[in-house]
Amino acid sequence: MRRQEGQIPAACAEGCKTKVYPDELPNTSIVIVFHNEAWSTLLRTVHSVINRSPHHLLSEVILVDDASERDFLKAPLENYARHLEVPVKILRMEQRSGLIRARLRGANIARGQVITFLDAHCECTVGWLEPLLARIREDRKTVVCPIIDVISDDTFEYMAGSDMTYGGFNWKLNFRWYPVPQREMDRRKGDRTLPVRTPTMAGGLFSIDKNYFEELGTYDSGMDIWGGENLEMSFRIWQCGGSLEIVTCSHVGHVFRKATPYTFPGGTGHVINKNNRRLAEVWMDEFKDFFYIISPGVVKVDYGDVSERKALREKLKCHPFSWYLESIYPDSQIPRRYFSLGEIRNVETNQCLDNMGRKENEKVGIFNCHGMGGNQVFSYTADKEIRTDDLCLDVSRLNGPIIMLKCHHMRGNQLWEYDAEYAGKWEYNFEHFFLRHINSNQCLDEPSEEDKMVPTMKECNGSRSQQWLLRNMTLNS
Ligand code: UD2
Ligand code: MN
């Protein structure tokens, strides 16, 4: 949807336009970190903050230059900033430090009661700030995000984001948007102007009470460059007694870029895996297995020392990850309870189900078992789904095909009975090994002659080709 200059985005729920916020709101410092940002996008961010926020609520704007290599971001930026109507401070990192440590530097000098972080390529809309600050005034332990609208990286057109998605993550610990579940709609009694409690945040755009930011342990300064800090903070907020919300009456646009204007010293994969290991080791307890098994090789990445972060978790008396999954994110992609996590092996052919790296809406495959996890990791969950990451095996017709679809948690075509007797935590005894699809009353079977690479659905007949072994694997270091 197009937004007209000066107006609240059309997508903003009708009720937002008539909301009245208290006169007494906490003020905020705006912290924007950047590395090699374009002049136009950086200034679009700064000007939209200045033009569309009540000035008495702006303590200052803090720009943290993470050792950019572009000349116009040096003296020209300083000269430009001097003429703006709001105090704009510019800090320089001596060396490339990554967004986490750059934000910490900015937060360190912030004088506002609240800190608001923004990426360096945003556009704040009219009325974006008041709803965020009002929510923090109501509850200082609530960390709030605006709805992130999309600014096209081709045309710079502004497109409204959805108030019907919230933040989650998959087994690989990638942040992902998922539909807001019915329980959260019910909790808000259908009022879309009320904040959405979100399991995780995208990470770039949020406001937090400054003292609470410190009490909660700011950021993990052992994380480099980019990635992981958003999940780390999300888990920490929830597990340690705070809450994380998307304030649907606040909209800020963000340029989602197809390519980054910067390098990852040490290699992209290495940096992100290291950060993710740090958060998995500190916050995820035994559920880190999902991450390790689906990402073979990651256990070899050195993640440094996390003892201080573990001590923080102790000090704040934080809940276990199982509590988070149960109480905050019951629709999570990592199942709270499950029977198996590992390969699913055919008794007759000795081959394994394999997602072949395929995507949503494609067929599940079958291949020689390699025992390395990755694409051959499936979990048979307590809800009787067969999952691989955030996709579930789904059959909607007699005789198949078996498609991988986003898990919908509604049983139906994603419900499978495994002829096994559950015998307590993680353990079960099984006799028959059939994977029976309840809706079709057919059984998962070996491939047909026509296509050796995909399993089939057939009438259950008790043959060995319909027997499957569900194995538990752990690749813990
Ligand atoms: C998302 C977040 C981003 C951050 C990231 C995970 C949004 C909209 N964006 O990725 O804020 O949480 O996930 O880490 O939620 N930067 C530096 N130094 C660096 C690298 C980046 O200062 O070494 C700056 C960069 O200029 C930008 C900000 O950090 O202003 C975020 O980086 P990004 O825009 O490349 O991240 P994004 O939006 O893909
Ligand atoms: Mn960004």
CATH number for position 408: 2.80.10.50
Return d(Cα 299, Cα 475) in angstroms, integer.
8
Q: Residue 447 corresponds to which tokens in the numbers above?
A: 């491939």
Least confident of 6-15, 155-164, 421-430, 432-441: 421-430
- 41 within a domain of the structure (yes/no): yes
Ligand 1, atom 33, lies closest to the CA of 119
Q: pLDDT value at position 13?
A: 72
Q: What is the domain range of residue 412?
A: 338-472
- 343 within a domain of the structure (yes/no): yes
Q: Are residues 217 and 345 in the same domain?
A: no
Q: Is ligand 1 within 6 A of the CB of residue 146?
A: no
Q: pLDDT value at position 6?
A: 47
Atom in ligand 1 nearest the alpha carbon of residue 225: 23
- 321 within a domain of the structure (yes/no): no
- 367 within a domain of the structure (yes/no): yes
Is the confidence at residue 476, as pLDDT, over 80? no
pLDDT band at 260; cut points 50, 70, 90? confident
Distance, CA 304 to ligand 1 centroid (Å)? 22
27 CB-near residues (< 8 Å, 6+ apart): 56, 57, 58, 59, 112, 113, 114, 133
pLDDT band at 357; cut points 50, 70, 90? very high
- 448 within a domain of the structure (yes/no): yes
Q: Are residues 250 and 348 in the same domain?
A: no
Residue in 226, 229, 234, 254 to alter for ligand 1 test, most ligand atoms within 8 A of Cβ: 226
Ligand 1, atom 28, lies closest to the CA of 119
pLDDT band at 9; cut points 50, 70, 90? low
Report the domain count for the chain.
2
Return d(Cα 229, Cα 236) in angstroms, integer.
10
Q: Are residues 8 and 124 in the same domain?
A: yes
Ligand nearest, relative to CA of residue 204: 1
Distance, CA 243 to ligand 2 centroid (Å)? 23
Residue in 91, 92, 119 to alter for ligand 1 test, most ligand atoms within 8 A of Cβ: 119
- 215 within a domain of the structure (yes/no): yes
Distance, CA 119 to ligand 1 centroid (Å)? 6
**DSSP-assigned beta bridge partners for residue 192:** none
Ligand nearest, relative to CA of residue 227: 1
Is the confidence at residue 477, as pLDDT, over 90? no
Ligand nearest, relative to CA of residue 120: 1
pTM here is 0.95
Q: Is 444 helix (H, G, I), strand (E, B) or coil?
A: strand
CA dist list (Å): 153 to 39, 145, 326: 15, 22, 38
Q: pLDDT value at position 399?
A: 96
Distance, CA 102 to ligand 1 centroid (Å)? 11
